[in-house]
Amino acid sequence: MNSQSDKNLSHDSLNELITDIEQSHHVFTRTELNRIADLLDDIKLKSLPIAHKFEHYFMELQADLLPHLMKEEHILFPYIRELEKDPKHLPGSCFGSVSNPIRMMKTEHVNVMYLLEKLRELTANYTPTPDTDADVSALYSAMARLDADLEEHIRREDSVLFPRAIQLESEMTAQTEAISADA
- Kindly state whether residue 3 falls inside one of the protein's structural domains: no
Q: Contact at 8 Å (CB) between 35 and 55?
A: no
Q: Which residue has the higher pLDDT, 51 or 27?
A: 27
- pLDDT of 132 strictly over 70: yes
- Kindly state whether residue 99 falls inside one of the protein's structural domains: yes
Integer Cα distance of 3 and 133 in angstroms:
39
Integer Cα distance of 174 and 168 in angstroms:
10
Mean pLDDT lowest for which of 28-42, 137-151, 169-183?
A: 169-183
- Kindly state whether residue 145 falls inside one of the protein's structural domains: yes
Q: Could you tell me which residues come within 8 angstroms of residue 152 by beta carbon, excluding any fewer than 6 positions away?
A: 1, 25
- pLDDT of 37 strictly over 80: yes
Q: Could you tell me which residues come within 8 angstroms of residue 102 by beta carbon, excluding any fewer than 6 positions away?
A: 76, 162, 165, 166
Give pLDDT, residue 11.
60
- Kindly state whether residue 2 falls inside one of the protein's structural domains: no
Q: How confident is the model at residue 89 (pLDDT cuts 50, 70, 90)?
A: confident
- pLDDT of 106 strictly over 50: yes
Domain count along the chain: 1
Give pLDDT, residue 44.
66
The mean pLDDT value for 90-108 works out to: 93
Q: Quick one: what percent of the chain has pLDDT higher than 70?
A: 88
Q: Quote the domain boundaries for residue 75.
A: 13-177
